[in-house]
Structure 1
Amino acid sequence: MGHLRELSNLELYMSHYGTIVTTAHLSGPISEPQLQTAIELQASRHPLLNATIQKENGHYFFVAHDAPLPIELISNATDDTFDNIRDRCINAELACNKQLANVVIVTDGQRTDLHVCISHIIGDALSSFVFIESCLNCYVDLGASTEPTTTQLPLPDALSDIADQQLGLLSPYNLRTYLAQFNKIQILPSTQKNTQQSTKTCTFTLTKQETATLATLARQHNTSVHGILGAAELLTLQQLIPDHPTENYSLWSAIDLRGLLPKPLLTESIMGGAMGHAFFYTLKNRDFWQLAKHITHDLKQHIASQDVFRALHNFDFAKPQRLIASNDTPNEHLLSIALSNAGRLQIKTQFDTLTLHKLTFMPTRFDDYFVTTIATLNGEMTAMITYKHPNYPTEKMTSFCDILHNKLQALSNPN
């Protein structure tokens, strides 16, 4: 075993979010050995899937693990087996001194659940989603006699209290994503708290015409719908939650540009008020908060004058570029399997093209958060906001969604 690299500041703070479990529900017969081979091939591209975390002299490192990604196969499953294994995966804890990922395949010959469990330190629901799709595509490329199809299953009741559920609601592969909370990884400073407030979700949808108008507006201003939403959310936060000043929030999106840094990430994601995982991975601990503070402060100064697009165009990109000092190979990160430039992920399937954007606002203390996932399917844009905060009652977040929805509609209907 050998050191891969030291954990970034972001990864240290992400640790207490627990385990992301993403599940693909497949129907029809599958070749179990071939599916395992496909998973092993895809996992071999991402060293962190086979890594552990070790502490040395007060620093935490990813350490390569000699064993392959654990894949557990459970055949001849009953209905109870499917339920029990799902619950076991959701409640499992991926300890730091053990591998940070594992896969469980449960099948009865005609129905299969593929569970991918990863520590939130190395990825999130979006990266799990793409990893599963890459495994299924590889399975087909290996010459499967039958291609797996999806089956619609009811959402477990527990999803109403679990974050990151949005991907499961919209995925063309009918994926279900669960976030299992736990607090046994003691990486965080003792001052950090891990509140156990349940999460809730608000949703709104823009029509095809409104979505198309926003996209046109975004192109005119050299940004993206993602960028407009980020700016609109900042304005709405200031209007609705004055007791939580914007500069206390770091902004990030679940994106990685497969080595395309720095230009695409800087011109799209940061212009939109979001910064990517991969961008933070390239920064030293000391620079992480410095950059977050600089960007949020700079954006707030412009946004306070209501001139959102001036903020987007006048952002000083030279400063963040000078902070980038990446010696990492892009494929080192699990997220690097996933995404195109501009902070977007487009997944072309037999069903349609699904575009996902993810923008997360998190206080620097990480006690509370809300996550916005935008999904564009068949031309309509749906924004789902998952939030966890002891001071954000349902009616306040519903009001937030209403205000944000109205802002986006106003941009879509300037007349």
Structure 2
Amino acid sequence: MSVRRRLSPYERVVWAAGEALPATVAATVHVEGPTTPGQLNRAIAAVRARHPLLGARVERTGPWRAWFTTRGVPGTPLRVVRPAAGRTVTSVLEEELQRPFAASRGPLARFVLVDGGDSFDLIAVFHHLVADGHSAAVVIRDVLQHLAAPAHGRPAVAAPPADGLLPGPRMRPADLVGLSRSLRVPHQASPPAPRPTGPAAPLTCSTWTLDTADTTALLDRCRAERTTVHAALCTAFARALPAPGPARVAVAADLRRILVPVPQESVGLYAASFLLPVAHTPHEAFWDRARDVREGLHRRLRPDELRPLVAGFRMMPLPHRLISGLLHRSEKKGARFDVSLSNFRVTVPETYGNLRLTSFHGVAHTSLSGAPLVILIGFGGRMFFSVTSTDPGAADLCGRAMTHLKAAVAPAVLAGARP
């Protein structure tokens, strides 16, 4: 399926951001069972044919206009890495996150096979313009399904822009007001401390996992306290941050909850983010605050709150170079948030013929500010965490947050939940 379609206003902003800032997301999975580079290359080619934006590039035709096109795009890269001393999946992830995509050349996805013989790790790396967390899970599932049972001629799945699937009128002045409100930095007692940018501080990535027992205990306690895991995490990280005043938490939102029809099988950009202030006081009960955070999250995840995060850009027709420059200057001034927390559940199968998917981590590099990007994926009854940052204290921050969470759930629970 060949593609040539104009980038929507929202996609154009994300593309312009990626011209000045990192815009890389990835999924890394561990699979029990063997494969070969040849088998994996064939599976990747089949999945690229099914999800055309993976094999696209961006063609700019003016200061306000750009297009997805699959014309003249080279094959999808597959890098093969053999296990060696000091060569870990995490170190490979760090390398891949710092390799920008050449959007004008394409393709906007690439893969890495860390071959362990009777098992392997697969890393799928995407430009954020063509994939979010749900999209990455669809790609991983389709690759493993093709490895288990090669299928040819499966119909391609279109990826319409999120802008075109929003309910309600196309243009609404209130959308611009809502977008402006969402971009404001919540009040804080003191301004954020400057963070190192660029190559001065190396990017690091850490991962950790909650086992089935610890995951069940956390879920049970959240249900008993009438709150959610995401609200509990926001509360734990707010308590772990050293800065006074409310924590500024960037929350990732899956737009599929409001789009019509729901692009469930489409691989594209159907996510946005907003800032949520999370107050914390030394003597406040953990679960009281978590219930308040849950209410704040539910309020911000309503359709009338999510719509402006996409539709508002229809009313801001700025040249792409101006968008890139504004975003780059904003990042140079410091982080807009203290920590970013993404949380979603993966519902793909665990077994594919003689292959078994045993772990699933998501990672991202979308900021120069150094603020930690934490991603939680629920899969197979466990919780898989990652943190990516150029802040040397990011891992310690996550450790403190998990300690707060452990203490809130039960003294004997989550003992190993530390990055």
- Structure with the greater relative contact order (CA < 8 A, sep ≥ 6): 1 or 2? 2
Distance across 1 between alignment mates of 2:310 and 2:77: 39
Out of 207, 213, 216, the position equivalent to 1:212 is 216
1:219-230 pair list within 5 angstroms? 219-220=223-224, 223-230=227-234
Q: Distance in 2 between matches of 1:210 and 1:35?
A: 34
Offset of residue 98 of structure 1: 0.7
Matches of 1:205 and 1:36 in 2, distance apart?
29
Q: State, as a whole percentage, how many aligned pairs show the same letter.
A: 16
1:261 aligns with 2:269: no
2:290 to 282, 285, 308: 308
Helix, strand or coil at the partner of 1:44:
helix
Deviation string 1:262-317 (CA, Å, 9 cap, x unpaired) is: 69x9xxxxxxxxxx96242xxxxxxx7xxx35xx14x5499997532134236533
Q: 1:21 to 1:229 in 2, by over 3 A?
A: closer
Pairing of 1:80-99 with structure 2 (within 5 A): 90=96, 93-99=100-106
Provide closer, same or farther for how the CA distance between residues 325 and 227 of structure 1 changes in structure 2, counting only shifts above 3 A: same
Query: Which structure 1 segments of 5+ residues have no match?
Result: 145-191, 266-275, 281-287, 328-341
**TM-score, scaled relative to structure 2:** 0.53
Q: Which residue of 2 aligns with 1:138?
A: 146
CA separation in 2, counterparts of 1:67 and 1:403?
52
Residue 131 (structure 1) shift: 1.7
Residue of structure 1 equivalent to 2:270: 278
Unaligned runs of 5+ in 2: 153-195, 263-267, 313-342, 415-419
Q: TM-score, normalised by structure 1?
A: 0.54
AA matched with 1:368: G
Q: d(CA) in 1 for partners of 2:41 and 2:369?
A: 38
> Would the aligned equivalents of 2:75 and 2:107 in 1 still touch at CA under 8 Å?
no
* Deviation string, structure 1 residues 341-380 (Cα, Å, up to 9, x no partner): x831134323877686869898xx7411213344567755
1:3 aligns with 2:3: no
2:66 to 58, 61, 69: 61
Q: Deviations over 1:379-407 (max 9, x none)?
A: 554644443226x3765664444334434
| Structure 2 Cα separation of the partners of residues 107 and 203 of structure 1 | 17
Measure how far apart 1:43 and its partner are: 1.7
- Preserved CA contact (<8 Å) 1:214 1:225: yes
Aligned runs of 1:331-346 on 2, under 5 Å? 343-346=344-347
Out of 348, 363, 371, the residue aligned to residue 369 of structure 1 is 371
Q: Alpha carbons of 1:101 and 1:229: their partners in 2 closer, same or farther (altered >3 Å)?
A: same
Q: CA deviation at 1:193?
A: 4.9
Secondary structure of the 1:343 match is strand
Question: Structure 1 407/368 Cα, relative in aligned 2: closer, same or farther at 3 Å?
Answer: farther
C-alpha separation between the residues in 2 aligned to 1:201 and 1:40?
A: 29
**Residue 46 of structure 2 corresponds to residue 41 of structure 1:** yes
User: Which of 389, 392, 405 does residue 391 from structure 2 map onto?
Assistant: 389
Kindly report the root-mean-square deviation, in angstroms, between the aligned alpha carbons of the 2 structures: 5.4
